[in-house]
């Protein structure tokens, strides 16, 4: 029986994947012996730096970080760029999404009944900015981005949040414990390229990198460079930060719940962008990705999905208003905060989907009869009285939207600029503070 060598990519869930060791296995049973996931087999393809990877019988062509998924059992095609491939579905943009998350979603999509097992799917991951170029040139059906589109980029596009993530600063695993501030002052900085949405996260939080910073192309390359350089400081998606030491802001633990509610200053959204008239293939794949099954796949890949659940015990902060502090004794907080369009009381695109998710979980037999409580918040721009009014208006806007789902909240109130989840020092952070928390009375 022919054999080959490959690597497991079930990172964070399999020791063989985390060790990045080569595994020898028969081609007919080309799976990780520890976790059972398909192995990735690599060999040169003679295509200008591209590599050929075989994923569980599905041919995948990498161009930088590009993939071309063909029909099971077929020989992998010669190396056409995804923009010109005759594919049933073409995705382009973020490396964070293209290198692990989207291939796993495609694999699950194709494995389900009627999931397009005989269709070709092309994935190119050259940075978030390329998503919008490809959409403008009609060379992809879905743009993947780890940052929001600018107004110019997003004109005439449909935005959909498909996962939640966080970026972390990373240093060598043997480095003495340090803080982000100290590390930034005493390290060789590694940065992503100009097309990267993750690089824009760094610039937003820490400013433009110095001229002597070393540029890398992908999350995976970033992690490997930091692991091999004791003086290195880099940054990567939390889902990729294995085998390195991750740094967090002082006093802000980076928990899953903090990412799910987007209450951590380093949390971020991962987006799909579609043209105004998306292809049937794009709509079908998107519907799967945002479904409960699709969001479960998101979680398994080390990101945070959007399926709603109750949080673990929430301890109100010492400076919480008495009315807010008292709620923890009678209610459970849901794993979602509702946010709004810029400087508006109109809920944003993710919030519209979240309200439908809330309605679905409240229809479950074990939650029927439980009452919703809504608490609005504002940033610190403007006066305290104005912010208090604005926070209450936002909570009322969410209540009105829930009533269209036949859900009548038991309490709707606001706390103004109290209890910020991020410093009010940048527009991105102020938007995090403009929110409505959703609680469920016991």
User: What would the mean pLDDT of 52-64 be, rounded to a whole number?
Assistant: 36
- Angle at the Cα of 262 from the Cα atoms of 305 and 431, rounded to 5 degrees: 135
Q: Are 381 and 422 in contact (CB under 8 A)?
A: no
Mean pLDDT lowest among 44-58, 96-110, 150-164, 289-303 = 44-58
pLDDT of residue 165: 98
User: What would the mean pLDDT of 305-334 be, rounded to a whole number?
Assistant: 88
pLDDT band at 419 (very low <50, low <70, confident <90, very high): very high
DSSP letter (8 states) at residue 279: -
pLDDT digits (tens, 9 = 90+) for 231-285: 999 999 999 999 999 998 888 889 999 999 999 999 999 999 999 999 999 999 9
Strands (E), 378-414: 411-414
169: left (phi over 0), alpha (psi -120 to 50) or beta: beta
Domains in the chain and their CATH numbers? 3-162+269-300 (3.40.190.10), 165-247 (3.40.190.10), 308-441 (3.30.1330.60)
101 vs 296: CA distance, rounded Å: 11
First to last CA, the chain: 60
267 vs 258: CA distance, rounded Å: 8
pTM above 0.75, yes or no: yes
331 vs 437: CA distance, rounded Å: 12
348 vs 269: CA distance, rounded Å: 13
pLDDT over 90 percentage in the chain: 65
pLDDT digits (tens, 9 = 90+) for 80-111: 444 445 789 999 999 999 999 999 999 999 88
pLDDT over 70 percentage in the chain: 85
User: What would the mean pLDDT of 136-161 be, rounded to a whole number?
Assistant: 96
Query: Is the alpha carbon torsion for 100, 222, 147, 338 positive or negative?
Result: positive
The pairing of beta strand 331-339 with beta strand 435-441: antiparallel
200 vs 220: CA distance, rounded Å: 18
pLDDT of residue 13: 65
Higher pLDDT, 24 or 178: 178
pLDDT of residue 250: 81
Give residue 360's Cα distance to chain centre: 22
319 vs 335: CA distance, rounded Å: 22
Q: For residue 11, report the phi and psi dihedrals to the nearest 5 degrees.
A: -60, 140
Q: Are 440 and 367 in contact (CB under 8 A)?
A: yes
Answer yes or no: is pLDDT of 373 > 60: yes
Q: For residue 427, report the phi and psi dihedrals to the nearest 5 degrees.
A: -65, -40
């Amino acid at each position: 029986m022919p054999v080959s060598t490959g690597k497991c990519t079930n990172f964070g869930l399999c020791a063989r994947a985390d060790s990045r060791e080569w595994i020898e296995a028969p081609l007919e049973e080309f799976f990780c012996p520890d976790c059972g996931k398909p192995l990735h087999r690599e060999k040169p393809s003679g295509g200008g730096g591209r590599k050929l990877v075989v994923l569980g019988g599905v041919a995948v062509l990498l161009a930088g970080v590009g993939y071309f998924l063909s029909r099971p059992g077929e020989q992998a095609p010669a190396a056409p760029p995804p923009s010109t491939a005759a594919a049933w579905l073409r995705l382009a943009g973020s490396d964070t999404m293209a290198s692990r998350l989207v291939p796993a979603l495609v694999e699950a999509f194709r494995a389900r009944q009627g999931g397009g097992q005989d269709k070709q799917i092309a994935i190119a991951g050259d940075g978030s900015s390329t998503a919008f170029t490809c959409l403008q040139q009609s060379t992809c059906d879905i743009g993947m981005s780890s940052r929001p589109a600018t107004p110019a980029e997003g004109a005439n596009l449909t935005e959909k949040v498909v996962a939640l993530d966080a970026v972390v600063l990373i240093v060598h695993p043997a480095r003495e414990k340090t803080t982000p501030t100290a590390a930034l002052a005493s390290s060789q900085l590694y940065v992503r390229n100009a097309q990267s949405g993750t690089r824009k996260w760094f610039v937003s939080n820490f400013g433009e990198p110095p001229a002597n910073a070393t540029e890398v192309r992908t999350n995976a390359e970033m992690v490997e460079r930091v692991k091999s350089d004791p003086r290195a400081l880099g940054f990567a998606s939390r889902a990729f930060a294995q085998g390195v030491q991750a740094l967090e802001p002082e006093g802000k633990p980076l928990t899953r719940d903090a990412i799910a509610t987007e209450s951590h200053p380093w949390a971020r959204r991962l987006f799909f962008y579609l043209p105004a008239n998306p292809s049937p293939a794009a709509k079908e794949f998107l519907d799967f990705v945002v479904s409960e099954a699709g969001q479960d796949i998101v979680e398994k890949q080390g990101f945070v999905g959007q399926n709603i659940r109750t949080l673990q015990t929430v301890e109100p902060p010492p400076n919480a208003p008495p009315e807010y502090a008292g709620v923890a004794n009678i209610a459970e907080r849901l794993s979602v905060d509702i946010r709004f369009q810029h400087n508006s009381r109109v809920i944003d695109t993710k919030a519209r989907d979240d309200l439908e998710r809330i309605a679905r979980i409240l229809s479950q037999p074990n939650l029927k009869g439980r009452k919703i409580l809504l608490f609005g918040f504002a940033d610190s721009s403007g006066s305290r009285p104005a912010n208090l009014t604005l926070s209450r208006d936002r909570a009322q806007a969410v209540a009105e939207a829930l009533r269209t789902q036949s859900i009548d909240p038991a309490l709707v109130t606001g706390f103004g600029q109290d209890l910020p989840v991020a410093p009010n020092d940048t527009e991105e952070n102020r938007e995090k503070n403009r929110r409505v928390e959703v609680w469920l009375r016991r």
